[in-house]
Amino acid sequence: MGEEQKQMLREILLSATILGVFGILGAALVAITWSATEERIAANQREMFLRNVYKLVPKEQVTNELLKDVITVNDPRLSARPVRVYRARHDGKPLALIFSPVESPGYAGPIRLMVGIGADGVLGGVRVLSHQETPGLGDKIDEQKSDWILSFSGKSLGNPPVEKWKVKKDGGIFDQFTGATITPRKIVAAVKRTLLYFQQEKDRLFKLPAETNPPNAPNH
C-alpha cells in the first residue's frame, strides 16, 4: 500500500471516528433532554392533580402523602376501567377518599371525573378531568364554562334523599342543560354510584395497604 493510500485511509478512519463521537454525543443529548422533559411533564401532572384534589379536600387538613397513600380498585359500580383511590388522612385518621378517574359514558364520549368524599360521606366536590361533549351544550360541565359542577359540593346520600339524585326532568333536584340533558344525567348518576360505593366500602378502602410502587404521575 502506497503512502498516499495510507494517508487516505487515515483520513477516512479519522472522519469515521469523529462522526461516531458526534453520533454518541447526539444520542446522549437526546436522552438527557427526553429524561428532563419527561420529568417536567410528570411534575406538571402531579401539580395539576394536587391542585384539583385540594379543591375537594382542605389542604391544611391533609397530613399524609396523598400520592403515596393510594390503591387501585376494579369495580363496575365506579367504572369499566380501574379507578385509583387516594386516601387523605389527618394525623392518621381517615379524612377523605378521592376517586380518580370515575368514568361515565357521555353524549359524545367518555366523561372522566374526580370525586372527593369526606369520611362523613359528604361530597367535597366533583371535577371533570376530560370530556368530549358538544361545545356550547354539554361542555357546561366544565368549571371554566359554568358553575354547574360545583353544585355537588356539600351533597350526600341524605342531602338530597337517594331518590332525588336525578336531574329535574327526571324528578330530581339537579339542573339539566337546555338541549343537553344526557350529559348532566350521566354525571349525576356516576356521582350517586360513587357515593353508594363509598358508603358500602369506605372502611375496607381506608384499611387496605397502599400500593408499594404508585406511579410518579397520577393517571388523569
**114 close to 100: Cβ distance less than 8 angstroms:** yes
Are 18 and 117 contained in the same domain?
no
Are 104 and 154 contained in the same domain?
yes
- Residue 84 falls within a domain, yes or no? yes
- Residue 109 falls within a domain, yes or no? yes
| Predicted local confidence at residue 39, as pLDDT | 65
- Residue 119 falls within a domain, yes or no? yes
> Residue 12: what residue type?
I
| Predicted local confidence at residue 35, as pLDDT | 57
**94 close to 117: Cβ distance less than 8 angstroms:** no
| Predicted local confidence at residue 29, as pLDDT | 64
- Is the bond preceding 215 in cis, omega lying within 30 degrees of 0? no
| Predicted local confidence at residue 214, as pLDDT | 63
- Residue 191 falls within a domain, yes or no? yes
| Predicted local confidence at residue 207, as pLDDT | 95
Could you give the C-alpha distances from 51 to 46, 59, 112, 125, 198, in angstroms and in order? 8, 10, 17, 13, 23
d(Cα 119, Cα 98) in Å, to the nearest integer?
A: 11
| Predicted local confidence at residue 95, as pLDDT | 97
| Predicted local confidence at residue 9, as pLDDT | 59
d(Cα 3, Cα 9) in Å, to the nearest integer?
A: 10
| Predicted local confidence at residue 46, as pLDDT | 76
| Predicted local confidence at residue 44, as pLDDT | 76
Are 103 and 22 contained in the same domain?
no
d(Cα 150, Cα 39) in Å, to the nearest integer?
A: 32
Q: Which three cell numbers stand for residue 196?
A: 353508594
Are 47 and 90 contained in the same domain?
no
Are 120 and 177 contained in the same domain?
yes
Low-confidence ranges of the chain (pLDDT < 50): none
**Helix or strand (DSSP H, E) at 111:** strand 110-118
- Residue 216 falls within a domain, yes or no? no
- Residue 218 falls within a domain, yes or no? no
Domain count within the chain: 2
Give the domain range for residue 28: 1-56
Are 163 and 75 contained in the same domain?
yes
| Predicted local confidence at residue 14, as pLDDT | 61
- Is the bond preceding 101 in cis, omega lying within 30 degrees of 0? yes
